[in-house]
Amino acid sequence: MASTRKSLLNTMMKHRKRLEAVPMRVQFALDPNRFRRFSASAGDILLDYSKNRIDEKAMEALFDIARAADVEGRRKAMWAGKHINVSENRAVMHMALRYQGDRPVKVDGRDVMPEVREVLAHIKLFAGQVRDGTVKGATGESFTDIVNIGIGGSDLGPAMATLALAPYTRPDLRAHYVSNVDGAHLHDTLKGLDPKRTMFIIASKTFTTDETMTNAHSARGWIARALGDAAVRDHFAAVSTNLKACDDFGIRPDRIFGFWDWVGGRYSVWSAIGLPVAIAVGFDNFAAFLKGAYEMDQHFLKTRLDRNLPVIMGMLGVWYRNAWGFATHAVLPYDQRLSRFTAYLQQQDMESNGKSVTLEGKPLAYDSGPVVWGEPGTVGQHSFYQLIHQGTSVIPCDFLIAANPHEHMPPHHDKLVANVLAQSEALMLGKTKDEVVAELKAQGLDKEQIKALTPHKLFPGNRPSNTLMYPKLTPEMLGSLVALYEHKVFVQGVVWDVDSFDQWGVELGKQLAKALLPKVQGTARNEGNDASTKGLLAHYRSLKVSE
Q: What is the pLDDT of residues 80-119, one digit of tens each?
A: 999 999 999 999 999 999 999 999 999 999 999 999 999 9
Domain assignment of residue 75, yes or no? no
User: What CA–CA distance (Å, rounded) separates 140 from 125?
Assistant: 19
Q: Is 299 a catalytic residue?
A: no
- Domain hosting 515: range is 507-543
Q: Please indicate, yes or no, whether residues 213 and 324 belong to a single structural domain of this protein.
A: no
Q: Please indicate, yes or no, whether residues 52 and 119 belong to a single structural domain of this protein.
A: no
> Which residue of the set 510, 514, 539, 544 is catalytic?
510
Q: Please indicate, yes or no, whether residues 350 and 382 belong to a single structural domain of this protein.
A: yes
Find the helix packing angle between 475-496 and 309-318, rounded to 10°: 40
Write down which residue in 239, 263, 287 finishes a domain. 287
Pairing of strands 45-48, 465-470: antiparallel
Residue 122 buriedness (CB in 10 A; 0-12 / 13-18 / 19+): middle
Residue 1 has pLDDT above 90, yes or no: no
Write down which residue in 257, 287, 317 finishes a domain. 287
User: What CA–CA distance (Å, rounded) separates 27 from 32?
Assistant: 9
Q: Please indicate, yes or no, whether residues 467 and 327 belong to a single structural domain of this protein.
A: yes
Q: What is the CATH number of the domain that holds 379?
A: 3.40.50.10490
Residue 275 has pLDDT above 90, yes or no: yes
Q: Is 82 a catalytic residue?
A: no
Q: Please indicate, yes or no, whether residues 44 and 6 belong to a single structural domain of this protein.
A: yes
Domain assignment of residue 308, yes or no? yes
Beta carbons of 451 and 266 less than 8 angstroms apart = no
Q: Please indicate, yes or no, whether residues 281 and 313 belong to a single structural domain of this protein.
A: no
Q: Please indicate, yes or no, whether residues 206 and 159 belong to a single structural domain of this protein.
A: yes
Domain assignment of residue 483, yes or no? yes
Q: Please indicate, yes or no, whether residues 338 and 266 belong to a single structural domain of this protein.
A: no
Domain assignment of residue 82, yes or no? no
Nearest residue to 507 (alpha-carbon basis) of 210, 230, 214: 210
Q: Please indicate, yes or no, whether residues 515 and 496 belong to a single structural domain of this protein.
A: no
The fraction of the chain above a pLDDT of 90, given in percent, is: 96
pLDDT at 2: 63
Domain assignment of residue 399, yes or no? yes
pLDDT at 507: 87
3-class DSSP string for 39-91: EEEECCEEEECCCCCCCHHHHHHHHHHHHHCCHHHHHHHHHCCCCCECCCCEC
Nearest residue to 292 (alpha-carbon basis) of 462, 12, 95: 95
How crowded is residue 293: how many other Cβ atoms within 10 Å of its Cβ? 27
Residue 74 has pLDDT above 90, yes or no: yes
Domain assignment of residue 457, yes or no? no
pLDDT at 8: 79
What sign does the CA torsion over 115, 118, 122, 127 have?
positive
Per-residue pLDDT tens over the stretch 292-335: 999 999 999 999 999 999 999 999 999 999 999 999 999 999 99
Per-residue pLDDT tens over the stretch 224-233: 999 999 999 9
pLDDT at 5: 72
Q: Is 382 a catalytic residue?
A: yes
Per-residue pLDDT tens over the stretch 426-450: 999 999 999 999 999 999 999 999 9
pLDDT at 546: 79
> Which residue of the set 191, 244, 302, 382 is catalytic?
382
pLDDT at 124: 98
Which string of DSSP letters, residue by residue, matches 81-124? Answer: T---BTTTTB---GGGGG--SSS--EETTEE-HHHHHHHHHHHH
Q: What is the CATH number of the domain that holds 512?
A: 1.10.1390.10
> Strand 39-42's sheet: what is its strand order?
39-42, 45-48, 465-470, 397-402, 328-333, 371-373
Beta carbons of 475 and 290 less than 8 angstroms apart = no
Apex 256 CA angle, 211 and 112, nearest 5: 105
Mean of the per-residue pLDDT values of the chain: 97
Domain assignment of residue 454, yes or no? no
Beta carbons of 316 and 8 less than 8 angstroms apart = no
Q: Please indicate, yes or no, whether residues 54 and 193 belong to a single structural domain of this protein.
A: no
Nearest residue to 338 (alpha-carbon basis) of 166, 175, 480, 145: 166
Per-residue pLDDT tens over the stretch 143-183: 999 999 999 999 999 999 999 999 999 999 999 999 999 99
pLDDT at 103: 97
Nearest residue to 354 (alpha-carbon basis) of 506, 146, 181: 506
Q: Please indicate, yes or no, whether residues 185 and 329 belong to a single structural domain of this protein.
A: no
Write down which residue in 239, 261, 287 finishes a domain. 287
Nearest residue to 41 (alpha-carbon basis) of 224, 312, 344: 312
pLDDT at 31: 97
Diameter of the chain by CA atoms?
82
Look at the chain and report how many structural domains it folds into: 3
Domain assignment of residue 375, yes or no? yes
Q: Please indicate, yes or no, whether residues 202 and 333 belong to a single structural domain of this protein.
A: no
Residue 3 has pLDDT above 70, yes or no: no
